[in-house]
Amino acid sequence: MNQAIITLIILAVMVVLFVTSIVPLGLVSMAGAILLGCLGIIGKGDVFSAFSGSTIVLLGAMMIVGQALFHTGLADIMAKGIVKVTGTSENGIMIASILVGLILSSICSGVGVVAMMLPIVIAMSMQAKVSVSRQLIPMSFAASIGCNLTLVGAASNVSVAGLIEDMDIKFLSFFELGKVGLPLCVLFLIYFLTIGKKLLTPGDSSDPEYLAEYTKRENGGKFDPVKGGICLVILVALLIAMAVANSEWPMYFVAAIGCVLLIGSGCISEKEAMRAIDWPTLFIVGGMSAVSKAMASSGAGDMIANAVVRILGEHPNKMVFLFFVLLVTMILTNLMMNTSTVVLVTPLFVPVAVSLGINPVAIGVAICVAASAPFLTPVGSGTNTLIIKPGNLGFRDFFVPGIGLSLVVLVGSLFLIPIFWAL
């Protein structure tokens, strides 16, 4: 049996384990990479090479930066400031929760954003006597789609960038993803203030006793004006530096400097910084980076490219291929975490795009956007899972408004991506 077939068999088993989640995802990624090393399909040094690479550094650093926003109470102040502007009507609360979700998730973990916003949105909804459960879905979805405003908005974006750059293809700068992300966020807000609002489950399914107990929990840190001010200055400087990053001062290096300054200034302690890092995510990315190398070196990637050519033809319509990438990625991200999705599909679709003469950067953007659309199931993302209990929500509550939003993202991406990145 040749190496390409062996690699594809190992990848297929990994996909099943990813989707079923019967084994921890980080363990699956590393076990697959180690097995490929044992079989000689990749060098043993390649199994762990990603852990000394820029992608892992950038991921870990931005997790720490995001946590510092919560720890200093700065994120909470930002959220309450927006609420004062939008008001506490049903539309006002919805606009506030969506805007906060979109803005904060552009630089923070979406799960962290939802965890911080939950007690605020619940309390506002209860005081205004509007449905709690109807407010949670837009907030959760906003924390997912908002990560498309910047390249570091989600671990999945950074993973796509790292995997594509490993293929010697120049990807995006810090704000470039926002060319598509910002219009999609505007469409998102319009959707939920019109059609989406009507598709939310009528009434309020939440449990008042549970909510009363839940809102007693304090999410995020108590605001410290001094540390909050320092954190804000460092954050602004970091965003500016990352926006103009170049080969001499790359984003991962700038992010690492920001972490050192945040820890050194006391905005977040060393122990809290270590807790902020989602280690399973790093292992998933590190392991799948090795699998990606095996796909290239074994010829498995070429086999898949040839199969796509047989299905779509030697000269497929570029828009059809873009649609195919968006649809497949969007389906997968509703079954397993977005990072797992992108590390599976990026090594498959990007080489195929290159072989077909399609702009690989455009395909990378499509993967980023589609992976941030887990709107169909309660388990599509940690942001969705967090609101199930507080809102007493079921599958229908996510799927009905989610299917419409998925179509908005799909059609919007098909229109926007070719405008900024010619296919």
The pLDDT tens digits of the residues spanning 58-117 come to 778 877 877 787 778 777 777 677 667 776 678 888 888 898 889 888 877 777 777 777
- The predicted-structure confidence for 390-402, as pLDDT tens digits, reads as follows 788 888 888 899 9
Domain count, the chain: 1
Q: What is the pLDDT of residue 34?
A: 92
- The predicted-structure confidence for 270-311, as pLDDT tens digits, reads as follows 888 888 787 777 787 788 778 877 877 887 777 776 777 677
- The predicted-structure confidence for 1-50, as pLDDT tens digits, reads as follows 688 888 888 888 887 787 676 777 778 888 988 999 899 888 888 888 87
- The predicted-structure confidence for 408-420, as pLDDT tens digits, reads as follows 999 999 999 999 9
- The predicted-structure confidence for 329-363, as pLDDT tens digits, reads as follows 888 888 767 777 888 788 888 888 888 888 999 99
Domain residues for 329?
3-420
Average pLDDT for 179-184:
94
- The pLDDT of residue 423 is above 70: yes
**Tokens of residue 350, six digits:** 């990007």
Question: What's the predicted TM-score (pTM) here?
Answer: 0.74
